[in-house]
Amino acid sequence: MRDPSRIRRILALLQQIWEYQQDVRFNQLVSNLQSIYSQQHDNYGRREVFEKKFIDMDKSSYLDFFFLEDDKWEDFLTSYLSSIEEEIEQQREKIDDKVIDEVIELFIEASVELEQLDNQFRNKLEYLFLKESKWLTIEAIVNLVRNFSQNERKELFEKVKSYI
């Protein structure tokens, strides 16, 4: 009999991974994870199919994870989550006071009141950098904000301010 506690562990891993990629739909997340697993494990689960199109045959493939044991999937998810967290820690080291101060100054230029740019806001701004650094470098994020209009900076300020 399989360990019933595996269900909560695997779901918790999926939840943590998904929270780092909130704009991804659930089935898209699972599909992406299966694809990564397959690539890392000698194309595990890849099935080739042929479809007859008039005279020709079109070749395509899909992933079939029906026989993958939960412990292997859990190990993969644990490893994948660790790699995300390591990457975030590397990015965190690049987010120093100088970077935060520069963006704060850009908000001030956009007429955001200084009292609203407190330590709590700075922490939320750091969270924005961590979240977006998965897709962009820290320098690119600062450059984007630098090139925003006054209204776009205010909109970004409101978005950052609303982070929990």
Q: Does the pLDDT at position 121 exceed 90?
A: yes
Query: Domain segments of the chain: what residues?
Result: 5-85, 95-161
Question: Where does the pLDDT of residue 88 fall: very low under 50, low under 70, confident under 90, or very high at 90 and above?
Answer: confident
Which contacts (CB < 8 Å, 24+ apart) does range 110-114 have? 110/150, 110/151, 110/153, 110/154, 110/157, 111/150, 111/154, 112/153, 112/154, 112/157
Beta strands in the chain (DSSP E): 46-53, 56-63
pLDDT at 164: 64
pLDDT at 102: 95
What DSSP string runs through 127-154? HHHHHHTTTS-HHHHHHHHHHS-HHHHH
Separation CA 62–CA 37 (nearest Å): 13
Question: Where does the pLDDT of residue 118 fall: very low under 50, low under 70, confident under 90, or very high at 90 and above?
Answer: very high
Separation CA 153–CA 161 (nearest Å): 12
Q: Cα separations (Å) of 50 from 39, 62, 145?
A: 21, 11, 49
Question: Where does the pLDDT of residue 81 fall: very low under 50, low under 70, confident under 90, or very high at 90 and above?
Answer: very high
Question: Is the distance from CB of 129 to CB of 99 less than 8 angstroms?
Answer: yes
With a threshold of 0.75, does the pTM exceed it? no
Average pLDDT on 46-67 reads: 88
More confident residue, 3 or 56: 3
Lowest pLDDT segment from 20-24, 30-34, 45-49, 154-158:
20-24
Mean pLDDT across the chain: 92
Q: Does the pLDDT at position 52 exceed 90?
A: no
Partners of 56 in beta bridges: 53
